[in-house]
Structure formats: structure tokens, C-alpha cells
Amino acid sequence: MKFKISASVETIKPYEAGKPLKELEREYNITNAVKLASNENPLGFSPRVVEAVNETLSSMNRYPEPVAHELCRLLAKKYQVGVDNIVLGNGSDDIIALLAHGFLNPGDEAIMPLPSFLMYEISVKTAKGVPVMVPLRDYATPLDEIAKRVGPRTKMVFVTNPFNPTGATITRDEFISFSEKIPQDVIIVADEAYIEFVRDKLVFNSLDDPLKDPRVVTLRTFSKAYGLAGFRIGYGIMHKEVAQILNRIRQPFNVNTLAQVAAEAALQDEQFLNKSIQATHGGIDYLRSELTKMGLNSLPTQSNFLMVDLKTDATRVFTAMLGQGVIVRSLKSYGFDTFLRVNTGTRKENQIFIKALKQVLKKV
């Protein structure tokens, strides 16, 4: 082709999703594969979701509600904010893109850790902005260095808490100190996709005191703790003037009907949410204990996943694990050549992972 594409788009590295279970089973001619690569909820979702979706199927010939009034009402009640402070998205990455397109002019800068969620960079570049990458320090977000990199073209900074893939966190005191160094006209995007799993009470949670700082845009998702990854729904809570801009440019039906009712049902089942969180904590504790027994170091985590240092080429181990029917995540593309990321599964899945890892490490 002789078509000319955007120079900013030409530099984008495509997002690589985790290998799907069906693809692995087909490729290796196996059954009952275990996927621990995409930080999904192994318990699935609340039974209430099934009921809500089934009741809604007969009306799927109709367009979705463009605003999802009931879901916004429930979120507003939960976090004590106004419905005009809420923006829904087809996953929280949809809202990341809206922020970039709503507030970045060509050449404007958005600062982010390196590595971090690839959709930050992709969204900024497609909005003709310039991503400014600040390398991690000791596997954690270098807040002081990010603050130092703020310049006259900076319009946005991204912080992820807990951080993916390392599991590191930002304390409340650290975030407040950081925010005091950021100019008043710079948006601070607090991506809290894994916040429900946090056990440490010192970790910053932007919705403990929502909207206190009008620069802070909170991103949350139903994909992780609520188990709705396949429904694709996330949300942002922000100053109403920011929300108005995003709602002005978002697609009118960006969240489908089934996702809306699934999120409503999930949000109202606190018992299932708590069950999922407790299962996650138990799974993480089990994995860390077993990895320690194997002489492997795993980084501290406040999420539903952990990073483990294999002290060898992690990609070779990742590939060999596929042959065992276990999907994990090699972090070579993140610059961590000897690390795997694994999310906690069911008790049985966790045991299968540990057994497979022991077998593979004997051979590589």
C-alpha cells in the first residue's frame, strides 16, 4: 500500500493480549488448560449477573441507554459523588483514550512510568501527543522523577496504583507530596484497576476522599475484582467539567446493554466481591509461600498478581509452561527478562501452576 499513515501512529507498538485458552488448547492439542496471565477473577462473577443478563437478552434488539442512569446512580451512591462526576467506558482504557483526545493538543506531553500499561502510550500518540517515559525505580513508580519532568507542554500525568506488572503501591503521604509538586493545570490520572485487592491501609485510594483535588481523575474497572472482563466496562470519577468534555466526545453507545446490567448486578453483590477478594488474598499467600520454598523471589504485591524472578530466561520458561497447559506472562517486553507475572487462580489452578513450574525449571 502507498497510503501514508500518521507519523505518531507509525511508532506505536501493538498491544499484546494474553494468549487465549482456546488458542493454546488448539495449538498444543490439550484440554483443561489453565490461564493465569491476564489478572482475571478465577471465581467468575456474581450469580446476580447471570440473572440480570438473562432477563435482558430479549431486549437486545434495542440500543443501550447512552448514559446508563441506574449504574451511574449506584456508583454515585457508593462513592458519594454526583452522577455528573462519572464517565463510563468500554473498559477503563476507553476512558484513557477519551482523556488523551479531550485534553491533548499536538505536541502536548503526557508523563507515564516506563514500563506501564501500553494503552497510555497508544492513546497519547493517537491524540498526537508526546508520551514522556520515566523508568521505574526499584520496581516502583518514581514519583519525584515524574514531578521533575513536568514542563510547559505537560498536560497529563499517569500513575497506576497498585502498579502493573510489579504490584508496587503508592502511599497516601507519597501521593499528596507528589500532587503538591504538580501544576494546577495538569491532570493527574490515578489508574486504580486493582485497588479492591489492597490490604495495606497506608496505600493511597483516591476515592476515600473523592473529588477533593479537581485535577485527579480516578479510573476503575469491573474487569478484575468483579470478574466482568469479557463484558468490557470501566468507569472514571472526576470533576464534572472534565466529565463533560469526555461525555461530549465519547461514542453515544460505548457501553453495551449487557455490560450495563452486569455491572449494576455485580455492584450490588458485596458478598461475592468480598469472597473474590478473600480468595485472591489466600491465593497470593499460597503462591508466594510455594515460590519461596522453591528458592524463588517474588516481589511484594497488593494486587491479584505477582512477579517472580526465575534467574533465567523467562521467555523460555513461559514457552515451556505452555506445553504444560499453563499460560502465564513473560515480562521480557517490559524489560524484565528473568521475570514472569502470574495471577492467582483457584486453589487447583495455583497448584497446577506450581507443579508445572517445578517440572519446567528442572529442564531449562
Do 220 and 94 form a contact (C-beta atoms < 8 A)?
A: no
Residue type, 30: I
- Report the C-alpha gap between 289 and 243 in whole angstroms: 44
- Whole-angstrom Cα distance, residue 341 to residue 194? 15
| Per-residue model confidence (pLDDT) at position 1 | 53
The enclosing H or E element of 88 equals: strand 86-89
- Rg value, the chain, Cα: 21
Q: What is the mean pLDDT of the chain?
A: 94
pLDDT one-digit tens code per residue, 146-169: 999 999 999 999 999 999 999 999
The residues facing 78 across adjacent strands are: none
Numbered ranges of CATH 3.90.1150.10 in the chain = 7-44+271-363
CA–CA distance, 107 with 129 (Å, rounded to integer): 5
Cis peptide before 165 (omega within 30 of 0): yes
Distance, CA of 347 to CA of 87 (rounded, Å):
36
Query: Where do you find CATH 3.40.640.10 in the chain?
Result: 47-269
* pLDDT tier for residue 19 given thresholds of 50, 70 and 90: low
**Better pLDDT: 28 or 135:** 135
Q: Tens digits of per-residue pLDDT, 201-238?
A: 999 999 999 999 999 999 999 999 999 999 999 999 99
Q: CATH assignment of 7-44+271-363?
A: 3.90.1150.10
Question: Which CATH number applies to 47-269?
Answer: 3.40.640.10
Q: pTM to 2 decimals?
A: 0.93
Q: Is the pLDDT of residue 18 over 80?
A: no
DSSP annotation of 85: G
- Is residue 182 predicted with pLDDT exceeding 70? yes
How far are the Cα atoms of 64, 66, 86, 223, 352 from residue 251, in angstroms, in the given order? Answer: 12, 9, 15, 20, 42
Q: How confident is the model at residue 3 (pLDDT cuts 50, 70, 90)?
A: confident
Indicate the pLDDT class of residue 302, thresholds 50, 70 and 90.
very high
Res 31 pLDDT > 80:
no
H-helix segments, the chain: 7-10, 21-28, 47-56, 69-79, 92-103, 118-126, 143-148, 172-179, 240-249, 257-267, 270-293, 314-323, 347-363
